[in-house]
Amino acid sequence: IIAAGTGEFEAGISKDGQTREHALLAYTLGVKQLIVAINKMDTTKWSEDRFKEIVKETSNFIKKVGYNPKTVAFVPISGFNGDNMIDSSSNCPWYKGWEKETKAGKSSGKTLLDAIDSIEPP
C-alpha cells in the first residue's frame, strides 16, 4: 500500500522510507508476487498524473530490488471511501485497469480484488 498524498509517497520512497524498506524485506523473505495499491487517491482528486508518477517511481525502485514491474498490478484506490477495491470506481474514468505478466500468460483487471484474485499459487 502506497499513500498518494503529497509528501507521503515521497517520504515512503525516500532513502530510509518504509515503502522502500517493506519492498526490500518482502523480496528478501521470498515474496515473489506483488500488488501495489496506491491509496488515498481521493486526496489527489484522482489525479491521473499523480498515479502515473507513482507507478513510474515505484517501478524503477522495485526493479532495483529484484522485482519485474511487468508482473505487478498497480491499482489506484481510496480505502476510506472503498473506491476501486471491490467494484470499479467512477472517480477515475481515465483508469482502464491493470495488466501483468504471469506464468500462464497475461492477467488483467480493474480493482484491488481482481489483483488479489490474480495471485498465482506458489
Q: Model confidence over 3-47: pLDDT tens digits?
A: 999 999 999 999 889 999 999 999 999 999 999 999 999 999 999
Enumerate domains of the chain plus CATH numbers: 2-117 (3.40.50.300)
Query: What is the reported pLDDT for 122?
Result: 85
Contact 35, 112 (CB under 8 A): yes
Q: Using alpha carbons only, how large is the chain's radius of gyration in Å?
A: 14
Nearest to 75 by CA among 26, 106, 114, 107: 114
Q: Model confidence over 59-81: pLDDT tens digits?
A: 999 999 999 999 999 999 999 99
- pTM for this structure? 0.94
Distance between CA 25 and CA 3 in Å, rounded?
19
